[in-house]
Structure 1
């Protein structure tokens, strides 16, 4: 089956738009996890300069060229990140939870793997753990995204010419690579990979191959902990490490837009969008300066059912969102630390004046957290307080949400570089991969 799929992909030059040139192209694939169209719209207003009359365009606006469907294989219609990333990486629809396998759980060839076979350098960058669903779907093959240890093992154990498929890995996830049962970091370094476990150490890495695991799991939210432009830093380093004398395949994921969307945390989500925009600008600058390079950016799905406007009010107050300086989780932690002085800390971190009835409602929730004795009681108190704080922010900004999960709408497609117009208009997510396969050619 692998051979049949490879042959099918090679024939795509004949089937997809006739833009494949003999010159091998470097391919940059940017995925904003959870970044539905409504996130681009909200971010445009969030990032707008209120001192000017016009609404300034964002980097997302500048390269927006089309849209993509996201549904998985079967009848569920709403995808998870694994099925969607498998479609984006291989051009094959699969089931929710699938990592680089088809509906029959058979491995499918990915763009990264094809590129490596053809002599390309390869790299993956992610703000989540690097073995999370989206990056995993480019370099591993398992039937469940939850098999984090197995995915990490495959990054090392799956080889081509006795070397791992990915030359540069930068993200979180150290706890999955340095385990009691196996130390993958030690094994990677034995193969010549330079290793970093912090942003300071990342600066000192000089060449590929390289592995950087910058957090135990996912990186802290951009709104909570510097560097706020962490994805741009990681992306810049990946580009610098890739050899200059041959083409490359680079996948970059802005992972935590999705996580903030699951939490229905608008300020967190907008900070992740800013982080994503800064990385996208780094990539766009690279494409502008290097011919024979194409960049495509899209989302795997949208998350949370975000709406600008709620409660029947025709308004969205971006200024309120700009005033919030911490994620909901961090707000809970800071209010707990402040104790009875929590109202002042709340005002400092959000600039939102609480109405008397809001302060009366939140006070007992803070007290419950302060008085909780068991872990279960503390977690329950945190959950209730977090929900109450987010409700205040949403009410003040007129932000709406429909779900804590994913939604099934189409997502944006952005493109730049060689024949970027090939990605214009509506397309299925599998079509993006099929078009990108035609850009990969043997490196001479």
Structure 2
């Protein structure tokens, strides 16, 4: 690690500028579904009852002004309606609701009114708008410095957790500099030659089953990474640099993936917090976006609640630590969800 500067204000400012939360709440709303969403899937009624208990978060406002840790949680594709769906399905409670400051952000990219996750991820990671599809580069294909890189140059530990390929658009925006988000094999090489200390997600095939026949896993190990291929293997690692590459492609949907996201968030915090200089951690609830694309309310709710459990892990850590800034945001909204008027009386 490069020797730290005492304070981290330059990095904080770049994140605080983009930290408007992409959600709000509608007063004392009725819980239309009382914790049970039903949606027809291939002619059958699909029911999800994966509720979670929300423990009241106290004293977050008492966080010390001398912030040394940042946890950035991104709900990919998460708009107001997605939050409201999870809120309603979970008996009108989410950890997200304990955020102290709430706002909105404009998500259009440099060249499109409707952004994609690459351009939006770059805006969040680097503080600058770019063209759709670009990762870590401006509209002229010039590389941009990310908040993760800034954190590392201040001597801080860094980590990325995502419920998808770790080489996918949002996590890659914090590491890579490529003109096209689909350059997965090129993106994987940026992960090898990066400031990262912790990375957890899928995408193993981009490292060891490549078209160029390179195997990047030995290079990762040479960079000091301990590689885990499952959550159980990860549980055995207590410190140091770690790469959790659990699947060849994307991580499975919830509930098939189990407690991957909250457990991985907790594990990343456990390892990164050992750095006395502080850390930067980005956690992505990747599949809220895909649920919106699928027009599946059940999928949206399950991904929202799983993401919210990870938010809870971050807030509880911040409450105990007292020197941690937690930012919850979205890169854009997907799906234009709404509650149809015929559902007003559902119990």
Give the structure-1-normalised TM-score.
Answer: 0.62
| Number of equivalences | 288
Separation (CA, whole Å) in 1 of partners of 2:240 and 2:207:
19
**What is the distance in 2 between the residues matched to 1:313 and 1:280?**
32
More helix by proportion, 1 or 2? 1
Q: Could you tell me which residue of structure 2 aligns to residue 87 of structure 1?
A: 123
SS at match of 1:308: coil
Closer, same or farther in 2 for the Cα pair 1:13/1:196, shift >3 Å? closer
Is contact 1:84–1:301 with CA below 8 Å preserved after alignment? yes
> Which position in structure 2 is the counterpart of 1:280?
311
Shift of 1:192: 2.0
> In structure 1, what is the equivalent of residue 244 of structure 2?
212
> Aligned equivalents of 1:43 and 1:315: distance in 2?
17
Partner of 1:131: 167
Hey, what does 1:306 align to over in structure 2?
337
Structure 1 residue 57, shift from structure 2 partner = 2.6
Question: What is the CA deviation profile of residues 396-430 of structure 1, one whole-angstrom value per residue up to 9, with x for unaligned ones?
Answer: xxxxxxxxxxxxxxxxxxxxxxxxxxxxxxxxxxx
Residue 299 of structure 2: aligned partner: 268
SS at the partner of 2:300? Answer: helix
Partner of residue 201 from structure 2, selected from 158, 167, 171: 171
Q: Could you say what the CA RMSD is over the residues aligned between the two structures, in angstroms? A: 2.2
Indicate the residue corresponding to 1:421 in structure 2: none
Pick the aligned partner of 1:252 from 266, 280, 283: 283
Is residue 99 of structure 2 the alignment partner of residue 25 of structure 1? Answer: no
Name which of 188, 191, 197 aligns with 2:220. 188
Distance 1:266 1:314, change over 3 A: closer
In 2, the alpha carbon distance for the partners of 1:60 and 1:140 equals 29
Gaps of 5+ in 2: 1-8, 18-63
Q: CA deviation at 1:23?
A: 4.2
- The Cα of 1:316 is off from its aligned counterpart by 7.5
* Alpha-carbon distance between aligned partners in 2 of 1:12 and 1:233, rounded to the nearest angstrom: 26
1:297 aligns with one of 328, 334, 343: 328
- Structure 2 counterpart SS, 1:283: helix
Does residue 67 (structure 1) correspond to residue 101 (structure 2)? The answer is no
Q: Deviations over 1:3-54 (max 9, x none)?
A: xxxxxx959969x89xxx9945211111000111111111111111xxxxxx
How far has the Cα of 1:204 moved from its partner? 1.1
Deviations 1:256-280 (A, max 9, x none): 1111111111111111111101100
After TM superposition, the structure 1 = structure 2 runs for residues 91-240 of structure 1, keeping only pairs within 5 Å, are 91-157=127-193, 164-180=194-210, 181-223=213-255, 225-227=256-258, 229-240=259-270
- Tell whether 2:39 aligns with 1:39: no
Q: What are the Cα deviations for residues 350-373 of structure 1, in whole angstroms up to 9, with x where unaligned? A: xxxxxxxxxxxxxxxxxxxxxxxx
* Counterpart Cα distance in 2 of 1:13 and 1:126: 24
In 2, Cα distance between equivalents of 1:280 and 1:152: 27
What displacement does 1:179 show? 2.0
What is the CA–CA distance in structure 1 between the aligned matches of 2:271 and 2:12, rounded to whole Å? Answer: 31
Q: Displacement, 1:208? A: 2.0
The normalised TM-score by structure 2 is: 0.78
Asked if structure 1 preserves the Cα contact closer than 8 Å seen for 2:192 and 2:223, the reply is no
SS of the residue 1:126 aligns to: strand
Shift of 1:247: 0.6
Distance 1:179 1:80 in 2: 27
Matched residues in 2 for 1:126 and 1:247: separation? 21
